[in-house]
Amino acid sequence: MKVTFPHMGTMSIPVKSMLEELGLEVVVPPPITKRTLDLGVKHSPEFACLPLKMNVGNYIEALEQGADTILMGGGVGPCRFGYYGEVQEEILEGLGYDFEMIILEPLQGDWKELFRTIKLLVGNIAITKIRSAWQKGWAKAKAVDKINRLANQTRPYLLKRSQASEVYEEGLELIEQAETIKDVETKLSLIEEEFNNLDRNKNFEPLKVGLVGEIYVVLEPFTNLQIEKKLGEMGVLVDKSIYLTDWIEGHIFPSFLRQDQKGKKVKEAAQPYLNHFVGGHGLESVGETVLYSQKGYDGVIQLFPFTCMPEIIAESILPTVSRDLNLPVLSLTMDEHTGEAGYVTRLEAFIDLLKRKRRKEVVI
Ligand code: SF4
């Protein structure tokens, strides 16, 4: 069995580690390129949301490299994610690929589904082996998110801002190569030291922007056209409202094991504007925007795929939040037609507005 799975940001690092520790042969799809997008767009329904198309492109490229089993997450709730797996399976079968699709349904704190999926992948296996695979993968997931945060927090202060991406990319490779949890920790300390040693302008006071929106677009740099790097290199401190480990904690860990009660705080913050689940991260986009305002951020950017229902709901509410809290919010819709030049122009105009607002030259 040669297993593959879709990309979503740096998710391949912990997932590959976990599957290999379980004794599986893993085919990581090649890094996302224009070809991946073109393949996905060509073979998916036009009205499907962008992540479905990107996944299809990933699968085709992995199947071309010999993968025969696809591991995909399932979903529940009002948005389309719940039937992604089935639709993707039909598309690939229609193209003549021979493979098996295994769908990991949302655990919601019930680990039996995880064990069922692992059994489908590797048969009967000692629980200790599953635990050690999980622990190593989790250590890598935490490390990768940590260096992502560090890159975003460091970049705007640097005399040479491109160095943050260099250290970050190097760091990802080091974490990927780490053989043990101890090794992950050692490499993480080295990367932190490298970030600390970069020359910076300590008196610089960057604008602070929070990113909210649909998880795939927020986490996948190819799809969001490297927004973290672009804003950071404009001198903006960027914070993402969601990381892979946040999502795992919220969806896989039972509530008593979650490190913080972030989900509860987000729901409370959203409550005056939206008080029920609308699918995806629509509720979170509203709540996180309120929280960014409370934390003194200068602005918020909402990112989502064209036709994403939960985020369209959030988008219709955010102008009220923006007015009430005097916080500029920019909503950006992404699809296969998004052009980089227009995108950058909108980002630059938004940052310019934030600068003028900070200097009290404009009132929103
Ligand atoms: S959250 Fe949006 S983009 Fe993601 S599957 Fe649902 S509708 Fe599609």
Instruction: Say which CATH number the domain at 87 has.
Output: 3.40.50
Q: What is the pLDDT of residue 9?
A: 97
Residue ending a domain, among 92, 125, 158, is: 125
Q: What is the pLDDT of residue 254?
A: 59
Confidence band for 258, pLDDT divided at 50, 70 and 90: low
What's the CA-to-centroid distance between 204 and ligand 1, angstroms? 38
Question: In the predicted model, is pLDDT for residue 75 greater than 70?
Answer: yes
Atom of ligand 1 nearest to the CA of 305: 3
Atom of ligand 1 nearest to the CA of 217: 3
The verdict on 172 and 115 lying in the same domain is: no
CATH number of the CATH domain containing 213: 3.40.50.11900
Summarize the confidence of residues 307-317 as an average pLDDT.
96
Q: Is 53 in the pocket of ligand 1 (CB under 6 A)?
A: no
Query: In whole numbers, what is the pLDDT of the chain averaged over residues?
Result: 93
Burial of 175 (0-12, 13-18, 19+ CB in 10 A): buried
* 8 compared with 120, residue with greater pLDDT: 8
Domain membership flag for residue 243: yes
The verdict on 251 and 325 lying in the same domain is: yes
Of residues 117, 106, 141, the one with CA closest to residue 9: 141
> Rounded to 5 degrees, what are φ and ψ at 126?
-65, 140
The verdict on 277 and 337 lying in the same domain is: yes
Burial of 245 (0-12, 13-18, 19+ CB in 10 A): middle
**Nearest protein Cα to ligand 1, atom 5:** 81
Question: In the predicted model, is pLDDT for residue 116 greater than 70?
Answer: yes
Q: What is the pLDDT of residue 260?
A: 59
Of residues 277, 279, 218, the one with CA closest to residue 246: 218
Longest dimension (CA), the chain: 66
> Rounded to 5 degrees, what are φ and ψ at 330?
-115, 125
Of residues 88, 116, 122, the one with CA closest to residue 104: 116
* Mutational test site, ligand 1, from 72, 216, 312, max ligand atoms within 8 Å of CB: 216
Summarize the confidence of residues 117-122 as an average pLDDT.
84
Stated pTM of the model: 0.94
* 247 compared with 70, residue with greater pLDDT: 70
**Nearest protein Cα to ligand 1, atom 2:** 308
Alpha-carbon distance of 214 to 78, in angstroms, equals 14
The verdict on 327 and 214 lying in the same domain is: yes
Give residues with Cβ within 8 angstroms of 169, minimum separation 6: none
Domain membership flag for residue 74: yes
Summarize the confidence of residues 232-241 as an average pLDDT.
97
The verdict on 229 and 342 lying in the same domain is: yes
The verdict on 193 and 210 lying in the same domain is: no
Q: Is 75 in the pocket of ligand 1 (CB under 6 A)?
A: no
Strands 2-4 and 329-334, sheet pairing: unpaired
Q: Is 121 in the pocket of ligand 1 (CB under 6 A)?
A: no
For the record, the structure tokens of 293 come out as 């305002």
Q: What is the pLDDT of residue 248?
A: 82
Q: Is 314 in the pocket of ligand 1 (CB under 6 A)?
A: no
Residues 160-174 pLDDT 10s: 999 999 999 999 999
The verdict on 165 and 67 lying in the same domain is: no
Query: Which residue bears the tokens 């695979």?
Result: 133
The verdict on 112 and 179 lying in the same domain is: no
Of residues 251, 253, 228, the one with CA closest to residue 303: 228
What's the CA-to-centroid distance between 218 and ligand 1, angstroms? 12
Q: What is the pLDDT of residue 105?
A: 79
Question: In the predicted model, is pLDDT for residue 289 greater than 90?
Answer: yes
Of residues 141, 106, 114, 146, the one with CA closest to residue 130: 114
Question: In the predicted model, is pLDDT for residue 330 greater than 70?
Answer: yes
Domain membership flag for residue 138: no
For the record, the structure tokens of 3 come out as 């297993």
Residues 173-223 pLDDT 10s: 999 999 999 999 999 999 999 999 999 998 999 999 999 999 999 999 999
Domain membership flag for residue 130: no
Domain count across the chain:
3
Residue range of the domain that includes 233: 205-364
